[in-house]
Amino acid sequence: MKRRKFTLVELVVAMGIFLLVATIIGTASATFYNAYNRTVKATAKLQNYLLIDQVMDQCVRNAIPFKWEDDKNDRERFVFQGAADSLLFAALRRSYSGDRGALIFVRLRLIDTDLVAEYSPYPLLPWLLEEEEDNEELYTREVLAQNVQAISFLYAERDTEGAVEFLTEWVEDEHDSIPLAIQLEIEWLDGHKERWLRRTAGSAANASFGNRPDQSGLEKETGRGGIR
């Protein structure tokens, strides 16, 4: 029996079909891989945003003017430190059976390229932070976001005319309470920026934690000395 051999034309056609199939498979694989990478990045970014939203809504929104005795200076001071690139404050939280109290003390700052939140049931006193910096037993640390280039805070206060202004730093001796609101801006390594702005609790003249002196000189009874 005589065997039939492939002609040159048939070999070229077969190779062409093979290359076409390989191209289709390669393109589909590359498309799937790129889509997977985009999904992973989007999921990570969403997770970052959810954690930051949670801290801003549950902690910053519930920040209160809480005082503690400063033994070194023999006076009471707010447990609050508002720097340009870090924030420390006291906040209300839900208290359950077995909890250590209805207050939580929070510090937000950047460590390398990680935005971290440090939580403690005990007061993190700004005037003792340097002495207790390495005592990790005082707090629990959570990484809120990675790949962060820089963070910055702005602090809202009313000026002498009653208008709201934003300050890059909160100097305790220049104010009689904590800020009316706090803004967090994050710059990521890829260059884009995101902002979160939350009003604090108990900072307005008519809030339940009121007793905030009227910075604008307006009558407190009108409620115009605080942000509504």
3-state secondary structure of 126: helix
- Choose among 104, 171, 113: nearest CA to 146: 113
Reading the block at residue 81, the tokens are: 């430190």
Residue 226 has pLDDT above 50, yes or no: no
Amino acid occupying residue 155: Y
Note the Cα 92 to chain centre separation in Å: 17
pLDDT of residue 22: 85
Q: How far apart are CA 113 and CA 150, in angstroms?
A: 8
Spatial distance between the Cα atoms of 71 and 68, rounded to a whole number of angstroms: 9
Closest CA to 91 of 200, 223, 215: 200
Q: Any idea what DSSP says for residue 49?
A: H
CB 68 within 8 A of CB 77: yes
pLDDT score at 73: 77
Query: Residue 92: pLDDT above 70?
Result: yes
Q: What is the pTM of this model?
A: 0.72
DSSP state of 2: P
For residue 62, the SS3 value is: helix
DSSP 8-state class, residue 6: P
Q: Which of 43-47, 53-57, 94-98 has the lowest mean pLDDT?
A: 94-98
pLDDT at position 119 is: 93
Helix (H/G/I), strand (E/B), else coil: 32: helix
Task: Calculate ∠ Cα 136-137-139, nearest 5°.
Answer: 75
Instruction: Give 169's pLDDT tier (boundaries 50, 70, 90).
Output: very high
Q: What confidence category does residue 224 fall into, taking pLDDT thresholds of 50, 70 and 90?
A: very low
